[in-house]
């Protein structure tokens, strides 16, 4: 039987140290890093998305960072296609793909597959967004609970895009998204998969997030967003866009914008933790884990 090639995933919440670990590992095992972050794929938001620096990108090859304009739609299905291609290319070079990021939906799409709905009901979608604006995302989440309890359990009440997608799938196909997802196929059976996450104490993680937000603003996050005239259907929901735009539109003060972004980032990290803690394929590492310990886990 042919030996399966290795693909490593380093996932987890924002500010947990994923990128640092990926770089160390890439240097040690001839690895190439693939982005798995729904913000870092956008060209124009380097600071806000905390994309790896030029120096970091010189240490090991990086892929799928800054590949698309914020004006264009980009989703998990498109991501999974590109990531699969990169994995194959890296293996052909004799190197090891290291998929790094905290976007759980991207990780799931790549590992377990995602189905693409060919037709859409644009009027129904607009109606749902209008309802969300009027009554909030939790109103739509309750609507989803009545239609598809399994999907509602997995989707956070504030994850508007995924709630609307699930409702739209039911409207267009007449079938629950949780049923259709059972037919998905990803890379999990094609390769030897090793998935790691770094377990950081909650208070320490939140402190890092707050510090990271301060750094973003000091490096020019406001100027970065100010230059962008239009955001597409998916990028407009990226964390930090609304908070900074509200400041630019004089709806909040600078300190209020920072405070809101810190709070929303902490909440996002909590949702990320909830998502990844449910996946028993993930090996949670202590921050003190040595590279040799990790290599042993990879080789087991």
Pair 76, 195 in one domain: yes
The Cα–Cα gap between 107 and 271 comes to 14
Split at pLDDT 50, 70, 90, the class of 46 is: very high
Pair 86, 203 in one domain: yes
Pair 190, 295 in one domain: yes
Pair 87, 33 in one domain: yes
Give the number of domains in the chain. 2
Pair 130, 155 in one domain: yes
Is 81 part of a structural domain of the chain? yes
Containing structural domain, residue 195: 6-114+185-299
Pair 151, 273 in one domain: no
pTM: 0.82
Pair 190, 271 in one domain: yes
Pair 156, 295 in one domain: no
Question: pLDDT at residue 140 above 90?
Answer: yes
- Which regions of the chain does DSSP assign to beta strands (E)? 6-11, 31-35, 62-63, 96-101, 192-199, 282-286
CA 93 from centre of chain: 26
Pair 100, 204 in one domain: yes
Is 91 part of a structural domain of the chain? yes
> Which of these, 68, 70, 52, 47, lies nearest to 223 by C-alpha position?
47
Is 1 part of a structural domain of the chain? no
Of 143, 164, 183, which one is at a domain's C-terminal end? 183
Question: pLDDT at residue 298 above 90?
Answer: yes
The region of weakest confidence among 35-49, 57-71, 140-154 is 140-154
Is 24 part of a structural domain of the chain? yes
């Amino acid at each position: 039987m042919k030996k399966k090639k290795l693909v490593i995933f380093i996932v987890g919440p924002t500010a947990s140290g994923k990128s640092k670990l990926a770089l160390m590992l890439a240097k040690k095992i001839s690895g190439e890093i693939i982005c798995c972050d729904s913000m870092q794929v956008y060209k124009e938001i380097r600071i806000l998305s905390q994309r790896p620096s030029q120096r970091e990108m010189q240490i090991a090859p990086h892929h799928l960072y800054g590949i698309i304009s914020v004006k264009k739609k980009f989703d998990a299905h498109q991501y999974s296609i590109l990531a699969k291609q990169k994995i194959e290319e890296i293996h052909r070079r004799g190197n090891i793909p290291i998929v790094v990021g905290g976007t759980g939906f991207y990780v799931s799409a790549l590992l377990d597959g995602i189905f693409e709905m060919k037709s859409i009901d644009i009027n129904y979608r607009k109606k749902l967004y209008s309802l969300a604006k009027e009554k909030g995302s939790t109103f739509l989440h309750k609507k989803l609970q009545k239609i598809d309890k399994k999907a509602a359990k997995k989707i956070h009440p504030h994850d508007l895009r995924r709630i609307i997608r699930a409702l739209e799938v039911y409207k267009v196909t007449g079938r629950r998204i949780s049923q259709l997802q059972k037919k998905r196929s990803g890379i999990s059976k094609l390769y030897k998969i090793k998935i790691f996450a770094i377990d950081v104490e909650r208070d320490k993680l939140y402190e890092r997030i707050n510090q990271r937000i301060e750094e973003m603003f000091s490096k020019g996050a406001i100027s970065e967003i100010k230059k962008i005239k239009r955001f597409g259907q998916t990028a407009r929901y990226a964390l930090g866009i609304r908070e900074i735009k509200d400041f630019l539109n004089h709806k909040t003060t600078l300190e209020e914008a920072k405070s809101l972004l810190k709070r929303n980032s902490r909440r996002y990290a909590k949702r990320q933790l909830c998502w990844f803690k449910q996946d028993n394929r993930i090996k949670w590492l202590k921050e003190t884990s040595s590279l040799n310990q990790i290599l042993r886990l990879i080789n087991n």
